[in-house]
C-alpha cells in the first residue's frame, strides 16, 4: 500500500498496517469533528509519524500511484474541516 504525505513524498506500507492506519485516521477525523485543536494536532502528528516510521520511502525515480493521500503537518484545523465540507455528501 502506497501512502503519500503531501509535500513529503510517498511511503510504502505493508497491508497489515491498514487497520492501525485507519484507527489513527479516525482519531484525526474525530478531532476535526469536535473542533478540538489540541487533539487535532496530536492525532495528526501520530498519524503522520506512523506513516513515516513504519513506511519505507518510495525511491525518487519510482513512478507509482498512491492508494491514500494525507495532508502535511502544517495543515490547519480550518483547512481540514474545509476538506470535509467540500464533499460532504457522505455522512458518517
- For the stretch 18-22, contacts whose Cβ atoms lie closer than 8 Å and that sit 24 or more positions apart, written own/partner, are 20/50, 21/47, 21/50, 21/51, 21/68
CB of 35 to another protein, least distance (A): 14
| CA end-to-end span of the chain | 24
CB of 57 to another protein, least distance (A): 10
Is 76 an interacting residue with respect to another protein (CB under 8 A)? no
In whole angstroms, give the CA distance from residue 47 to residue 80. Answer: 14
Q: Which of residues 8-67 bind another protein (CB under 8 A)?
A: 8-9, 21-22, 25-26, 28-29, 32, 44, 47, 59-67
Interface with another protein (CB under 8 A): 4, 6-9, 21-22, 25-26, 28-29, 32, 44, 47, 59-71, 80, 83-84, 86-87, 90, 92
Amino acid at each position: 500500500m502506497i501512502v503519500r504525505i503531501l509535500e513529503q513524498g510517498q511511503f510504502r506500507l505493508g497491508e497489515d498496517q491498514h487497520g492501525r492506519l485507519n484507527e489513527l485516521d479516525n482519531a484525526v477525523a474525530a478531532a476535526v469533528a469536535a473542533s478540538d485543536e489540541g487533539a487535532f494536532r496530536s492525532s495528526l502528528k501520530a498519524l503522520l509519524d506512523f506513516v513515516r516510521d513504519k513506511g519505507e520511502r518510495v525511491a525518487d525515480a519510482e513512478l507509482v500511484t498512491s492508494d491514500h493521500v494525507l495532508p502535511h503537518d502544517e495543515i490547519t484545523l480550518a483547512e481540514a474541516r474545509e476538506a470535509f465540507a467540500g464533499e460532504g455528501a457522505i455522512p458518517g
